[in-house]
Amino acid sequence: MRKGVIWLLLLLFATSCFLPVVGFAKKGGAGVKVKARVGGQILIEIASGDEISFEVDPVMNPEDTAVTEIVVRTNAAKYSIIGKFGEFLIGDYDLIEHEKFFIRSKAPGSGKAIDDWIVPKGEVVILKDEDGRTPGETTIVEYLLKVDFTVPPGEGRLEIVYTAVPAF
Amino acid sequence: MKNWLIGIIVGLWSVAAFAGGISLFPTVTEIILPPGTSYSDMIYITNTGDEAVTVEARVLGFVAPEGVPRFLEPQFDNYPFSGKDILTVEPAVQIIEPGATAVFTYELHMPDDLNPYGGRYVAAVFKVRPTASEEAQVVVATQVASIFLVSPGGEASPHLQMGDMRVYQFKANPRKVIIEAVVTNTGNLHISSDQIRGYIYITDADGYIVDEFPASTHTLLPGNSYMHQEVWYAPEDLPSGTYQFHFALVLFGPVGTSPEYLFMSQEVELNF
């Protein structure tokens, strides 16, 4: 019994000696130098556009528009917003592939937005090099859906992911 | 016909995941990590919204030809300087209560055998899992990314190349002049935006400077190439004639190395 306690104490002692070494090794090895760990913060939120609906049909209402408002707060000098668009499928018919779905964007300031309607395929830079150091400013993304008789009936499904990134 | 019309109605609704937001710290980490070494630290994600959110962490390599990261899905990531295999982030998923901050731990490990030798570029990407309702067809989600620029030190260095300079007038407005050149980093390390500066000079037929202005430069990863474009508005009183456009780039290096100078000129006939 006493032997067991001694072994346990020895084990605890060995562990307590070894832990700081492990911690140091995890933090960084020889030659590791953090040149910059930018203490900046970037915040993204969707201010509106959370219940948008398109109601379209090829005769009475062949196109419809909608809007998402993206708010960014950051102390980075500049920032950009990237949109990633998946497939917009009605069955196996892709509204993006068939160029029925378009976007454009409006910059809150001096950043470069998308002035004319484009078909969003894959990753799209929604806003580039917008001036940062802002307590909150809004980028507007407009969507346009156009349908005709080549579009099959049904409901489309699409995921859009907006990423805010600082200039680096 | 009526049935056809009814059938073709396409109803689409998009639902944004939440009304709040998430913030990230740190945004960018630039680090020298010699082969065989590791570095571990933390990333903080704060839920600034009113509802709990589920945040998923992923590791993605990226390229940035225009200075904006283009994240690479692992199956399409063939970028030789991608750092997708040197970064791990834990845990993969966390639920963050309103106002709370979650801590994700990351570890960078630079392998002993780097092939090709050079920098590695990777991002820890945090996506808010959308809480879309069942009927939502389009889901808008948000994410933030913590960017890592990792140098192995040693023989890694950037190298700049410039070519295919073009100068032309905008058809709708001849006083709007476009200056273009292809800029490439042919080295094996990124060029930081704090290491590079550019300048445009416009001279007349006699070599007198008509105008000059700084060119907008940005971080350029190794192997990345982009079409640098500047717009110049010729003064209203500038007469038609032959002008020369000069594009200068200076890349600064560490102490003991000479800056890399690149200079291209293009003669052009401007007609107003």
Mean pLDDT by runs of 10 across the 272 residues of chain B is 32 36 91 94 92 94 92 95 97 95 96 95 92 68 93 93 95 95 96 93 96 94 95 95 97 91 95 92
**B140 & B220 share domain:** no
Q: Label residue A7 by pLDDT band (50, 70, 90).
A: low
Both tokens assigned to B271:
């007609």
Whether residue B167 sits in one domain with residue B262: yes
Tell whether B2 is covered by a domain: no
Q: Does A115 touch chain B (CB under 8 A)?
A: no
Q: Let me know if residue B128 belongs to a domain.
A: yes
Nearest partner of A146 among A38, A32, A62, judged by Cα: A62
**CATH assignment of the domain containing B226:** 2.60.40.10
Clarify whether residues B90 and B43 are in a common domain: yes
- The verdict on B75 and B144 lying in the same domain is yes
Which range of residues forms the domain containing residue B173?
160-270
Strand-strand pairing, A78-85 and A158-166: antiparallel
Does B199 share its domain with B104?
A: no
- Our CA-based measurement puts residue B80 at a distance from the nearest CA of chain A, in whole angstroms, of 20
Same domain (yes/no): B123, B65: yes
Instruction: Answer yes or no: do B137 and B97 share one domain.
Output: yes
What's the order of all strands across the beta sheet hosting B176-185?
B160-169, B176-185, B225-233
Q: What's residue A8's pLDDT? A: 42
Name the closest residue on chain B to residue A85, using Cα atoms: B140
- Nearest CB among A45, A160, A164 relative to B49 is that of A45
**Complex prediction ipTM:** 0.80
Euclidean distance between CA atoms A103 and A70, whole angstroms:
14
A38 contacts chain B (CB < 8 A): yes
Q: Is residue A132 pLDDT above 50, yes or no?
A: yes
- Give the mean pLDDT of chain A: 81
Residue A163 to residue B193, Cβ atoms within 8 A = no
- Indicate whether A17 pLDDT > 50: no
Cβ–Cβ contact A128 with B under 8 A: yes
B6 in a structural domain:
no
What is the value of pTM for the model shown? 0.83
Segments of chain B assigned E as strands: 10-16, 21-25, 28-32, 38-47, 53-63, 70-72, 87-90, 93-96, 101-109, 120-128, 138-151, 160-169, 176-185, 196-203, 209-215, 225-233, 241-251, 260-270
Q: Is residue B3 part of a domain?
A: no
- What does DSSP say about strands B10-16 and B138-151: parallel, antiparallel, or unpaired? parallel
Q: Are residues B244 and B172 in the same domain?
A: yes
Say whether A151 and B8 touch across the interface (CB within 8 A). Answer: yes
Of B15, B138, B144, the CB nearest to A164: B144
CB B17 within 8 A of CB B132: yes
pLDDT of residue B221: 97
Q: CB-based contacts of A3: which residues, under 8 Å, 6+ apart?
A: none
Token pair 């396409």: residue: B10
Any domain includes B133: yes
A152-165 per-position pLDDT tens digit: 988 887 889 999 99
Q: State residue B50's pLDDT score.
A: 87
The tokens for B83 are 């750092």
Q: How far apart are CA A91 and CA A153, in angstroms?
A: 9
Answer yes or no: is B79 within a domain.
Answer: yes
Residues B92 and B186 in one domain: no
State the smallest CA–CA distance between residue B213 and chain A in angstroms.
18
Burial A35-57 (b: 16+ CB within 10 A, else e): eeebebbbbbbbbebbebebebb
Nearest CB to A35: which of B18, B30, B48? B30
Q: Do A68 and B41 touch (CB under 8 A)?
A: no
Residue B1 inside a domain? The answer is no
The phi-psi region of residue A17 (left if phi > 0; otherwise alpha if psi is between -120 and 50; otherwise beta) is alpha
- What's the maximum distance between 2 C-alpha atoms anywhere in chain A? 90
Question: Of B131, B151, B171, at which residue does a domain stop?
Answer: B151
Structural domain includes residue B11:
no
Question: What pLDDT, in 10s, does the model give residues A68-86?
Answer: 999 999 988 899 999 999 8
* Mean pLDDT, residues A87-114 taken together: 93
Query: Would the pLDDT of A61 be above 60?
Result: yes
Q: What is the pLDDT of residues A30-40, one digit of tens each?
A: 778 887 666 67
Return the pLDDT at B98.
93
- Residues of chain A in contact with residue B96, where contact means CB-CB under 8 angstroms, are none
- Which residue among B104, B123, B151 closes a domain? B151
CATH class of A42-166: mainly beta
Q: Are residues B147 and B186 in the same domain?
A: no
Judgement on whether residues B128 and B193 belong to the same structural domain of the protein: no
Provide the domain count of chain B: 2
Which residues does chain A have within 8 Å of residue B21's beta carbon, measured at their own beta carbons?
Answer: 43-46, 71, 73
Q: Determine contact: A168 vs chain B, CB below 8 A.
A: yes
Question: Same structural domain for residues B143 and B30?
Answer: yes
Q: Is the pLDDT of residue A25 over 60?
A: no
Indicate the residue of B10, B15, B26 with minimum beta-carbon distance to A51.
B15
Say yes or no for a CB contact (<8 Å) between B107 and A156: no
Give one DSSP letter per residue of B89-106, joined into a string: EE-SEEEE-TT-EEEEEE
